[in-house]
Amino acid sequence: MSSFRGLRAHKIKMPEVVVGIDAVKRLGEVAKAFGNKALVVAGRGSLESGRIKVIEDELAKAGVDFTIYSDFKPEPTLNQAEKLAEYVSRVLSYEKIDFVVGFGGGSSLDMAKVASLASANPRPIGQYMGVDKVLRKGLPLILVPTTAGSGSEVSKSIVLVRDGMKDGIVSEKVMADLAIVDPVLTITMPPSLTSMTGIDALSHAIEAYMSINANVFTDPLALKAISMVSTNLRKAYSNGSDLDARKAMSEAALLAGLAFSNASNCAGHAAASAFAVKYGVPHGVACGISLPYVMKFNMLAIAERLADIAIAMGIEGEGLSTRELAQLAIAEVIDLLMDLDLPTSLQEIGVPEEDIVKLADNMLKMTRLLEANPRRVGPEEARKIFEVMWRGDIEAKL
Ligand SMILES: [Fe+2]
């Protein structure tokens, strides 16, 4: 292990978690302890499909009154967050809200965090973008994910689109008080959503394991998540009603969420953020394209860590060198992407070659993520990563 790791002290922070089949049925009893009136933040999809009923029923059973807010789109913008903040201050001016419940994919959970934040911090929300800028913890927050990927239910970040790029509010003050992770809620995800959210979870686990902030707490979480995704994502993708695979994926996403929230993602999410919004590529798909190239780039610095990842993936290590194992971990990510019908290059999703220079520049703006990367990414390196990623040439030197 490289000497720079584990030498600094790390603070570990996580919400209370209820995880397992039918965990959502505990919502009523735990919600009651938070008060009598909830603001439920859920995506329109949850309302239109009727999936929200499980939350409504549980709150009603417990005698908790609620209002639902759903006026935002997936991968929400800062403007949508400001609109929600305005709504929260308006509602709070004439009625008492005791707590917030977020229900849905990562975007809905992030917007629930915005609602909680807005209850105790003056607008505009934009001033809290960055690390540790939130002034006060807001209303208590319960998050209930319906996908297995974002890890938002346990993370301290809110991802918002600003000026065409993903940016974050990172603060312990936006972390949930309680995460309720029920795999049954993920059963209705279509294969395409299963694959992209599952690859997001894998990216969190691998990037947290590569991060310079990886530590004794996050390493086992990351490796276990990598192992569970490797065994179960193909199954969940090919047979959505395989409850064992769904359960394992929900648990893996949770572990990966805890890992990245306490160790940070690194260059993979930085590269993905550089092009996802501009070309309308869903977050998980963008992370999937970036992941193998960033692993390859990092191999010079942390081959032994990539070899650990290969072993966690179930690759037989006997007789192989560290570098051979590291290469196999990268090859396995590419195999997985192909099995899940996900793209493995920028060319494949129609990104024009002449945009490479601009995209590399965008990547360099993601300083918080790049600072956690084990190998320095400067202008030259970013351009090279994007050139190779555009061609899809995993054999190229990086
Ligand atoms: Fe992510």
Q: How many whole angstroms from 256 Cα to the centroid of ligand 1? A: 10
Q: How many whole angstroms from 370 Cα to the centroid of ligand 1? A: 15
CATH number for 264: 1.20.1090.10
Q: Cβ–Cβ contacts within 10 Å for residue 47, how many?
A: 16
CATH number for 111: 3.40.50.1970
The reported pLDDT for the residue numbered 346 is 98
Examine the fold and report which residue of 186, 210, 236 is the final residue of a domain before the chain moves on: 186
Q: What would the pLDDT profile of 71-94 be if each residue is shown by its tens digit?
A: 999 999 999 999 999 999 999 999
First-to-last alpha carbon distance for the chain, in angstroms, is 21
Partners of 157 in the β-ladder = 170
The reported pLDDT for the residue numbered 6 is 56
Query: Does residue 104 fall inside a structural domain?
Result: yes
Q: How many whole angstroms from 283 Cα to the centroid of ligand 1? A: 7
Query: Does residue 398 fall inside a structural domain?
Result: no
Q: How many whole angstroms from 371 Cα to the centroid of ligand 1? A: 17
Q: How many whole angstroms from 204 Cα to the centroid of ligand 1? A: 6
Query: Does residue 6 fall inside a structural domain?
Result: no
Query: Does residue 2 fall inside a structural domain?
Result: no
Query: Does residue 396 fall inside a structural domain?
Result: no
Q: Which of 65, 287, 82 is nearest to 198 (CA)?
A: 287
Query: Do 222 and 110 belong together in one domain?
Result: no
Query: Does residue 271 fall inside a structural domain?
Result: yes
Q: Which CA distances in Å does 187 have to 86, 94, 190, 214?
A: 34, 39, 8, 32
Query: Do 317 and 302 belong together in one domain?
Result: yes
The reported pLDDT for the residue numbered 3 is 45
Query: Do 89 and 144 belong together in one domain?
Result: yes
How does DSSP assign 4-30, residue by residue? Answer: TTT-S-------EEEESTTGGGGHHHH
Query: Do 165 and 20 belong together in one domain?
Result: yes
Query: Do 109 and 144 belong together in one domain?
Result: yes
The reported pLDDT for the residue numbered 164 is 85
The reported pLDDT for the residue numbered 77 is 96
Q: How many whole angstroms from 287 Cα to the centroid of ligand 1? A: 7
Helix (H) or strand (E) holding 283: helix 283-312
Q: How many whole angstroms from 109 Cα to the centroid of ligand 1? A: 13
Query: Does residue 127 fall inside a structural domain?
Result: yes
The tokens describing 151, both together, are 């890890």
What is the extent of the structural domain holding 57?
Answer: 16-186
Q: How many whole angstroms from 198 Cα to the centroid of ligand 1? A: 10
Query: Do 374 and 251 belong together in one domain?
Result: yes
Q: How many whole angstroms from 156 Cα to the centroid of ligand 1? A: 13
Look-up of token digits 């194992």 = 325
| pLDDT tens-digit profile, the chain (398 residues) | 444 565 678 899 999 999 999 999 999 999 999 999 999 999 999 999 999 999 999 999 999 999 999 999 999 999 999 999 999 999 999 999 999 999 999 999 999 999 999 999 999 999 999 999 999 999 999 999 999 999 999 999 999 999 888 889 999 999 999 999 999 999 999 999 999 999 999 999 999 999 999 999 999 999 999 999 999 999 999 999 999 999 999 999 999 999 999 999 999 999 999 999 999 999 999 999 999 999 999 999 999 999 999 999 999 989 999 999 999 999 999 999 999 999 999 999 999 999 999 999 999 999 999 999 999 999 999 999 999 999 999 999 99
Query: Do 210 and 165 belong together in one domain?
Result: no
Chain length of the chain = 398
- At residue 27's C-alpha, the angle toward residues 150 and 97, to 5°, is 90
Q: How many whole angstroms from 55 Cα to the centroid of ligand 1? A: 25
Q: How many whole angstroms from 201 Cα to the centroid of ligand 1? A: 7
Examine the fold and report which residue of 164, 186, 208 is the final residue of a domain before the chain moves on: 186
The reported pLDDT for the residue numbered 4 is 57
Query: Do 196 and 331 belong together in one domain?
Result: yes
Query: Do 200 and 181 belong together in one domain?
Result: no
Q: Which CA distances in Å does 277 have to 80, 128, 156, 294, 377?
A: 15, 21, 22, 19, 21
Q: How many whole angstroms from 151 Cα to the centroid of ligand 1? A: 8
Q: How many whole angstroms from 168 Cα to the centroid of ligand 1? A: 11
Look-up of token digits 């809620």 = 185
Task: Give the whole-angstrom CA distance, residue 220 versus residue 256.
Answer: 10
The reported pLDDT for the residue numbered 8 is 77
The reported pLDDT for the residue numbered 2 is 45
Task: Give the whole-angstrom CA distance, residue 31 versus residue 52.
Answer: 16
Q: Cβ–Cβ contacts within 10 Å for residue 267, how many?
A: 30
Q: Which of 370, 386, 368 is nearest to 378 (CA)?
A: 370
Residue 162: which residues within 8 A CB-CB, separation 6 or more? 77, 78, 126, 129
Query: Do 154 and 195 belong together in one domain?
Result: no
Query: Does residue 7 fall inside a structural domain?
Result: no
Q: How many whole angstroms from 320 Cα to the centroid of ligand 1? A: 31
Q: How many whole angstroms from 159 Cα to the centroid of ligand 1? A: 9
Query: Do 136 and 243 belong together in one domain?
Result: no
Q: Which of 283, 263, 274 is nearest to 382 (CA)?
A: 274
Q: What would the pLDDT profile of 307-347 be if each residue is shown by its tens digit?
A: 999 999 999 989 999 999 999 999 999 999 999 999 999 99
Examine the fold and report which residue of 131, 158, 186 is the final residue of a domain before the chain moves on: 186
Query: Do 84 and 29 belong together in one domain?
Result: yes
How many structural domains is the chain composed of?
A: 2
Q: How many whole angstroms from 224 Cα to the centroid of ligand 1? A: 17
Task: Give the whole-angstrom CA distance, residue 270 versus residue 57.
Answer: 40
Task: Give the whole-angstrom CA distance, residue 43 versus residue 152.
Answer: 15
Helix (H) or strand (E) holding 157: strand 157-162
Task: Give the whole-angstrom CA distance, residue 143 versus residue 153.
Answer: 5
Q: Are strands 157-162 and 165-170 parallel, antiparallel or unpaired?
A: antiparallel
